Amino acid sequence: MRIGLIVAISISFLFSSSSFAATCQLCAFEIPDFAKEMGSSDICSDLFGAACKDVKGREKLKGQLDAMTDEGKNAVDQARDAAAQKLGFKNADEGALETLKKAGFNVRTDKPIDFVKDLYQESDPAEMNRIFSEAKDCSEDVVNLGKDNFEMTTTDTLQLQSYYQKADAVLQKQREVYKKFLAKDVEFFFNESVVGVCSQLVEGGKQRFPKEQNSKAYEVCNNLKKIESEAIQLYRKEGTPEYDQLAKAFVDRYHVQKLQVAKKEDMPANQKLVADIEFTKGFLGFLCNKLNGALKNSSQKLVQNYYEKLAKSKPVVESLIDNTYSPERHQLLKAMATSAKSHLKSIVSENFKDQSLAKKITNSYDNVEFLWMSKPAAHMYKKEGGLDVLDEYKVPVNSETTAFFNQDLDYFSEMNAVYKTSDSVGLQKNPNRVALNPAMIRMSDFNPFTVYFVLSHEMGHHMSPGIASVNGMDTRKELSGLFKCLSGRDSVRLTPKQWSEATADYFAAEVLAKELAMMPQEKRKSALKASMEFLCLANQDADGQLHQLFCREAHPANPFRASGIVGANPRLRKTIGCDGESPNYKGCAINPDNKFTGAADPKQPKTEKPAVEDEGAVH
């Protein structure tokens, strides 16, 4: 019985190990030039310096990340232009401009690109003067009123009255303009204007704002809940033919012109007039600011809707998919993903002390998919304003296709990759999966080495403690020695928050050790430098273009990742021919005693030949 069990286990290992066999994926590729150049350091002491810095210590790839993300942005721009042309516009920006003009905005800029960028970002409301005639007129009115040759000390009541009437007429004119733009967005009007006035009223109290002088404000604020309900009903009618008229009436009904402060009763008539003039002039400036805010908000809302429609339109979807997801790239990257998985299975089998866990992990790797975006089926589109657009209820939840619902289409310009755990939404079930963003996919054309490293990193996440636990596996015990080693002052001083990323980097280094071992010895060092390109690029990303939205600080610093985790990896060092440990970082590994000397190891199946041992065989 006992013998039978041993035989069964051996067979199982035999089968599993043979299924882990990987052919060399990187052997056929040319080393990129930057990786052939000398670096600021020797690769065996400082991989980051060797790969990322030139002999003078300058970043070798400075500015290249921007160029790569710009390529993605250009693809997005071109795709949007194609969609806008379907709508009859010259390009996407001109379409945005025309959309605003049609909605009643007086646009005065002749630079549509600047203009759209300004509108989407938060910007100083004073900037609106450059863009909209309404904003410019208002600020000119403020200046003109100030220019009038007028002495506040005059005792001429008629002159004071005339001036007050003039100022008040200007104020009324601008107030109507302001109301016009408030009516374009009742949600903004209610929250900004109505609630804003009521806040002031409550804060100032009836002593500052007497009821007699502020009857409308008190009436509005006493009915705030009812007005909110009305606003919501109206908001739901947005886009209907009757909306504009209803919204205008709503704003007329509930817009409080200004809160009147209590005046001193014993103030002489002329002094009261002077106070009113001062207040009106001051209030006009305040109103212009408010108008700028309303212009910004309402135009931004329109621009956002317009760009959302373009982003999910068929021309954009198909153009961006065609731009990146070619069958050739798919073939290459799928093979790389399979290769990385295969190496990872071997690594786990060879090094995990708990072999039942190892088996569970290697089996579960079969359920980690490499995600590839394909064109949505025709039934996923619907007609919307002259364009075929993705129907949000027909596109699968959590698929990469949802990236088309972000008006900025960030997914298509960012340099990144992800591991996603399996999830289930309604009837739809998604497996564990690894995806490369389009910019990363395109990078495979000129540096497959670094894409292989990134893919291996993402595949390695399958064993990160948090992700493994979601998949019903506990890797903490197996990895505890690695984390302890990496946390040391002689290593990268890893913090617990960085465990997940360090796990992925570590396994990517182990994968590289196996993959590079299949390459000619003289090519291995430069291939390793080439594989670090992503870390070189991401390191110089001072302005945050690299998307680490949800994982900031979860990654150790890139020099630590390259030199301290990858470059100090004992098995990788041996593969590329570095003698002994790194002088700067301790060599950390799971099962560090497993030296793969070729000596018979009772834990290992005899049929399994570690890749490091295969060095000679490759030549």
Partner 1 sequence: MKSLSLLLAIFILPSLASAKGKVWQQNFKIEFDNKKMKHTYSLLEKKGKIPTYVLQWKDKGKIKRSQKIRDWQASQLLAKVRRLQWQSLYRNPASMDKCTPYIKVSTLKKVATICLEKKRLAGRSEALLYHLSHYFD
Is residue 232 a contact point for partner 1 (CB under 8 A)?
yes
Q: Which residues contact 171 (CB under 8 A, 6 or more apart)?
A: 280, 283, 284, 287
Tokens of 575: 């593969």
Please state, in angstroms and as integers, the Cα–Cα distance from residue 147 to each residue in 141, 142, 152, 224, following that order.
10, 9, 13, 40
The single residue among 64, 223, 364, 591 that binds partner 1, judged by CB under 8 A, is: 223
The single residue among 175, 547, 561, 571 that binds partner 1, judged by CB under 8 A, is: 547
Q: Which CB sits closer to partner 1, 124 or 445?
A: 124
Burial status of residue 83 (CB atoms within 10 A of its CB: 0-12, 13-18, 19 or more): buried
Number of residues that bind partner 1 (CB under 8 A): 63
Q: What is the nearest approach in angstroms of partner 1 to the Cβ of residue 328?
A: 30
The single residue among 364, 402, 584, 591 that binds partner 1, judged by CB under 8 A, is: 402
Q: What is the nearest approach in angstroms of partner 1 to the Cβ of residue 71?
A: 19
User: What span, in angstroms and rounded, lies between the C-alpha atoms of 90 and 85?
Assistant: 6
CB atoms within 10 A of CB 398: 16
Q: Which CB sits closer to partner 1, 45 or 123?
A: 123
Please state, in angstroms and as integers, the Cα–Cα distance from residue 404 to each residue in 264, 312, 337, 401, following that order.
61, 5, 25, 6
Q: What is the nearest approach in angstroms of partner 1 to the Cβ of residue 258?
A: 19
Tokens of 611: 């890749």
| Interface characters, 410-429, with partner 1 (x: CB under 8 A) | x----------x-x-xx---
Among 257, 271, 278, 272, smallest CA distance to 167 is for: 278
Q: What is the nearest approach in angstroms of partner 1 to the Cβ of residue 544?
A: 3
Tokens of 160: 């004071």
The single residue among 7, 267, 269, 549 that binds partner 1, judged by CB under 8 A, is: 549
Q: What is the nearest approach in angstroms of partner 1 to the Cβ of residue 308?
A: 7
Is residue 195 a contact point for partner 1 (CB under 8 A)?
yes
Is residue 379 a contact point for partner 1 (CB under 8 A)?
no
Give the pairing of strands 368-370 and 432-436: parallel
Which three-class secondary structure state does DSSP give residue 418? strand
Q: What is the nearest approach in angstroms of partner 1 to the Cβ of residue 267?
A: 25
Q: Which CB sits closer to partner 1, 235 or 279?
A: 235
Interface residues for partner 1 in 79-98 (CB under 8 A)? none
Q: Which CB sits closer to partner 1, 180 or 547?
A: 547
C-alpha dihedral (205, 208, 213, 214), degrees to nearest 10: -40
The single residue among 191, 355, 480, 597 that binds partner 1, judged by CB under 8 A, is: 191
Q: What is the nearest approach in angstroms of partner 1 to the Cβ of residue 606?
A: 40
User: What span, in angstroms and rounded, lies between the C-alpha atoms of 36 and 12?
Assistant: 43
Interface residues for partner 1 in 123-152 (CB under 8 A)? 123-125
User: What span, in angstroms and rounded, lies between the C-alpha atoms of 500 and 568?
Assistant: 18
User: What span, in angstroms and rounded, lies between the C-alpha atoms of 248 and 359?
Assistant: 69
User: What span, in angstroms and rounded, lies between the C-alpha atoms of 258 and 281?
Assistant: 13
Q: Which CB sits closer to partner 1, 191 or 597?
A: 191
User: What span, in angstroms and rounded, lies between the C-alpha atoms of 268 and 273?
Assistant: 9
Q: How far is CA 185 from the centre of its chain?
A: 28
User: What span, in angstroms and rounded, lies between the C-alpha atoms of 548 and 529?
Assistant: 23
Q: Which CB sits closer to partner 1, 335 or 554?
A: 554
Interface residues for partner 1 in 236-255 (CB under 8 A)? 236
Among 90, 96, 168, smallest CA distance to 131 is for: 96
Is residue 408 a contact point for partner 1 (CB under 8 A)?
yes
Q: What is the nearest approach in angstroms of partner 1 to the Cβ of residue 312?
A: 8
Is residue 496 a contact point for partner 1 (CB under 8 A)?
no
Q: Which CB sits closer to partner 1, 332 or 467?
A: 467
Which three-class secondary structure state does DSSP give residue 163? helix
Q: Which residues contact 203 (CB under 8 A, 6 or more apart)?
A: none
Is residue 538 a contact point for partner 1 (CB under 8 A)?
no
Which three-class secondary structure state does DSSP give residue 407? coil
Q: How far is CA 11 from the centre of its chain?
A: 47
Residue in this structure with the two tokens 């009007």, named with its chain if needed = 189
Is residue 199 a contact point for partner 1 (CB under 8 A)?
yes
Q: Which CB sits closer to partner 1, 327 or 426?
A: 426
Burial status of residue 203 (CB atoms within 10 A of its CB: 0-12, 13-18, 19 or more): exposed
Is residue 430 a contact point for partner 1 (CB under 8 A)?
no
Q: What is the nearest approach in angstroms of partner 1 to the Cβ of residue 439?
A: 15
Q: What is the nearest approach in angstroms of partner 1 to the Cβ of residue 399?
A: 10
Q: Which CB sits closer to partner 1, 311 or 528?
A: 311
CB atoms within 10 A of CB 111: 13
Is residue 550 a contact point for partner 1 (CB under 8 A)?
yes
User: What span, in angstroms and rounded, lies between the C-alpha atoms of 153 and 225?
Assistant: 46
Interface residues for partner 1 in 170-189 (CB under 8 A)? 185, 187-188
Please state, in angstroms and as integers, the Cα–Cα distance from residue 59 to each residue in 46, 53, 63, 348, 574, following that order.
14, 5, 9, 36, 27
Tokens of 193: 């204007």
The single residue among 13, 181, 404, 560 that binds partner 1, judged by CB under 8 A, is: 404
Is residue 544 a contact point for partner 1 (CB under 8 A)?
yes
Q: What is the nearest approach in angstroms of partner 1 to the Cβ of residue 416?
A: 12
Is residue 198 a contact point for partner 1 (CB under 8 A)?
yes
Q: What is the nearest approach in angstroms of partner 1 to the Cβ of residue 170?
A: 23
Interface residues for partner 1 in 281-320 (CB under 8 A)? 293, 296-297, 300-301, 304, 308, 311-312
The single residue among 7, 67, 470, 617 that binds partner 1, judged by CB under 8 A, is: 470
The single residue among 150, 279, 325, 405 that binds partner 1, judged by CB under 8 A, is: 405
Residue 482: phi and psi, rounded to 5, are: -65, -45
User: What span, in angstroms and rounded, lies between the C-alpha atoms of 241 and 162?
Assistant: 42
Give the pairing of strands 417-420 and 387-390: unpaired
Of 192-200, 324-332, 370-378, 512-520, the segment contacting partner 1 by CB under 8 A is 192-200
User: What span, in angstroms and rounded, lies between the C-alpha atoms of 517 and 509?
Assistant: 12
Q: What is the nearest approach in angstroms of partner 1 to the Cβ of residue 282?
A: 15
Q: What is the nearest approach in angstroms of partner 1 to the Cβ of residue 182?
A: 12
What value does the CA radius of gyration of the chain take, rounded to a whole number of Å? 33
Give the footprint of partner 1 on this chain (CB under 8 A): 122-125, 185, 187-188, 191-192, 195, 198-199, 201-203, 206, 218, 221-225, 232, 235-236, 293, 296-297, 300-301, 304, 308, 311-312, 390, 392, 395, 397-398, 402-408, 410, 421, 423, 425-426, 466-467, 470, 500, 543-544, 547, 549-553
